[in-house]
Amino acid sequence: TINTLLVEDEDDEIFVEEEAIEDSSATMELNEYLMDSEERWVSDVFSGKQKAYDRGINELGQFDNWNEASVFLQQEIFSKQKVDMFSEEASEFIDTLQSYFKEYKS
């Protein structure tokens, strides 16, 4: 994201100053990507725990590639939430995340 400011310099001239802002836009993209099925993922993968889902998706969105994200997914989400990663719901969640990383992060 870029923050645009109108700035006055020492000669009283106004100019536009743009500043890049780190705002985890990757997380927003992932949240948007998963939005249509969010209730299902919260229910089936995160045992109905919305905060755990939000935290997990926030963390996943920070990874630059699927390999890193998949390790986190298995160790920090599936393991902690006691999700059977071979279940139909988990497989669909994995496929959806993998598609996201292929489309937006590669």
pTM (two decimals): 0.73
pLDDT at 88: 95
Residue spans per domain, the chain: 24-104
- Please tell me the least confidently modeled range out of 8-12, 36-40, 100-104: 8-12
Higher pLDDT, 3 or 46: 46
pLDDT tens per residue, range 12-63:
665 555 554 444 555 558 999 999 999 999 999 999 999 999 999 999 999 9
Q: Which residues pair with 7 in a beta bridge?
A: 15
Percent helix, strand, coil in the chain, to 5, is: 60, 15, 25
